[in-house]
Structure 1
Amino acid sequence: MSDQHPYKRRPVLHWAALLCFIFGGTAFAVWQLMVHPDTPLPPEWNPTVPLVIGDPVTTLTPWKLRVALGDDAACSAALQTGAQAQSKADFIDGPQCGIAPQVSLSGAAGTAIKPVNTRCQTALRLAMWTQHGLQPAARDIFGQDIARIEHFSSYSCRAMRTTAGNTTRMSTHATADAIDIRGFVLNDGTRISLLRDWDGDADKTAFLRRANSTACKWFRVTLGPEYNNLHADHFHLQNTGFGLCR
């Protein structure tokens, strides 16, 4: 029988056990730090804290947004942190059309919006864009906030439109996964219209270009006047899609 010490016979196992103890203990300590009521970790950096629209944007924000978008209850809870939205019963309008989960959106990040029935996910993306894209742009360029966002619609049970005519493919408006924004009104009453100002007044044009670029960060598809003439008067902002930004 060998009288070699067990540690010397199986050093790999002992090191593995020690590393598991160290990393397990560290992970437990980090978890306790995150969930402790007096944690010094800011909420925007805390992965255990759900998305809050007004929190500063960090590298965790896209992940938090995906979590909220992927669960109807989480979406509704996130929307209430920075928007005026009333939950409504799901709307079913045939096998290809409807709104679920449905909300009536009437404001976001300090702006008023003519009440529009849309999907919670579309409304949440709009609120994030308004908070972190539109309002900062308006303050930088005009020195004031946006008072109102003007839209054409969100829900419309119809096929997709192209420059070649209608197609057989259903539009994302058929499930309220898109909303069409036509302009803005500043606090002092100044109106900004995509149709009139995309290539007009320098400040208004700069604002609309920045609105377009920031929308690409918060929506999966953003189509504006530079895409085609069907979008000359509005931004088509889409909750679903493959990352098209034009």
Structure 2
Amino acid sequence: MSEEKQRRPVLRWAALSVLSAISSAALFGLLGLWLLLRPDGPLPDHWNPTKRLTVAAPVTIVTRFQMMRALGDVAECRAVLDQAGVAFAPMNDLEVDENCGIAGRGQLSKLANSRLNRVETRCATVLRLAMWEHHVVQPAAQDLLGTSVSSITQIGSYNCRKMRTSRGSDGRWSSHAKANAIDITGMRLADGRRLSLLKDWDGDDPEAAFLRKIWRGSCDWFRLVLGPDYNQLHADHFHLENTGWGFCR
């Protein structure tokens, strides 16, 4: 018998052994994944992509996936906000025309840790705002100002109008026309201080540093952010928007 013929059974046996080992590893991997992702499994919720987003949970690589799922499902979005203690009273959807209206409509008056002057908006906008408030605004206030934020001042979310630019009205419809944005003008701190973008944005003091830090941090949670450095139209507020392509200025 030739040496080549003698090697064939050995090679066949080696190939079958490798395939068997790969199949066993894949089977055990799937079994382990199933055990981890079970509702009663050992994996913490903020690491489990099958579990609901929790606003107060630590941010992990899974958080974005959980958030996008909630943003795409109004019922899931409302459940996340309820769990976080956000006061977002449900309202019937507003249907005006193809350009204006609010899906997932409600009235927001309180985030997890701070109040707002009441505003009518959509659930997706509130969810992004809640994540920003918990993971950016409150930690920055403690780090830079030694206190917490007790209330956030806004000047509107829904407004059925065209986009405004420094050259006048734009032919395109504003993101406000579907409540996909909210404008924030300032904060009130737990120690009584009041901050506004118009008077506190510029400078080297802690208040200015705080406002700039939460502006930068808002870019992690909203898809388009415009602030006082963008143009004169935004000198007094942050424009925080759900839609867009990651523009932050």
Structure-2 change in CA distance of 1:154 and 1:11 (3 Å): same
Q: Give 1:6 deviation, angstroms.
A: 7.9
Q: Does 1:59 align with 2:64?
A: no
1:192 counterpart SS class: strand
Structure-2 change in CA distance of 1:206 and 1:7 (3 Å): same
Aligned partners of 1:204 and 1:53: how far apart in 2? 26
Structure 2 residue aligned with 1:100, among 103, 107, 113? Answer: 103
Which of 101-110 and 21-30 deviates more?
21-30
Structure 2 residue aligned with 1:77, among 71, 76, 79? Answer: 79
Aligned partners of 1:209 and 1:125: how far apart in 2? 18
Over aligned residue pairs, what C-alpha RMSD do you find? 2.1
Given residue 23 of structure 2, which amino acid in structure 1 is its aligned partner?
C
Aligned partners of 1:78 and 1:13: how far apart in 2? 49
Percent identical: 45
Q: Give 1:52 deviation, angstroms.
A: 0.3
The residue that corresponds to 1:199 in the other structure is 202
Q: Give 1:151 deviation, angstroms.
A: 0.3
The normalised TM-score by structure 2 is 0.91
1:3-42 aligned within 5 A: 9=12, 12=15, 15-35=18-38, 37=40, 39-42=41-44
The residue that corresponds to 1:180 in the other structure is 183
The residue that corresponds to 1:119 in the other structure is 122
Given residue 22 of structure 1, which amino acid in structure 2 is its aligned partner?
A
8 Å Cα contact 1:7-1:14 kept in structure 2: no
Which of 150-159 and 76-85 deviates more?
76-85
The residue that corresponds to 2:46 in the other structure is 44
Q: Give 1:109 deviation, angstroms.
A: 2.2
Q: Give 1:36 deviation, angstroms.
A: 5.1
Which 5+ residue runs of structure 1 have no aligned equivalent? Answer: none
Post-superposition Cα deviations, 1:176-223, rounded to whole Å, max 9, x if no partner, equal 000000000001221000011111471110111011000000000010
Structure-2 change in CA distance of 1:20 and 1:73 (3 Å): farther
2:147 counterpart SS class: coil
Given residue 42 of structure 1, which amino acid in structure 2 is its aligned partner?
P
Structure-2 change in CA distance of 1:91 and 1:13 (3 Å): farther
Q: Give 1:46 deviation, angstroms.
A: 1.8
Given residue 66 of structure 2, which amino acid in structure 1 is its aligned partner?
K
Instruction: Give the greater-gyration-radius structure (CA).
Output: 2
Aligned partners of 1:80 and 1:116: how far apart in 2? 17
Structure 2 residue aligned with 1:135, among 134, 138, 149? Answer: 138
Given residue 71 of structure 2, which amino acid in structure 1 is its aligned partner?
L
1:151-170 aligned within 5 A: 151-170=154-173
Which of 192-201 and 158-167 deviates more?
192-201
2:83 counterpart SS class: coil
Given residue 73 of structure 1, which amino acid in structure 2 is its aligned partner?
A
Aligned partners of 1:5 and 1:167: how far apart in 2? 75
Aligned length: 244
Structure-2 change in CA distance of 1:240 and 1:7 (3 Å): farther
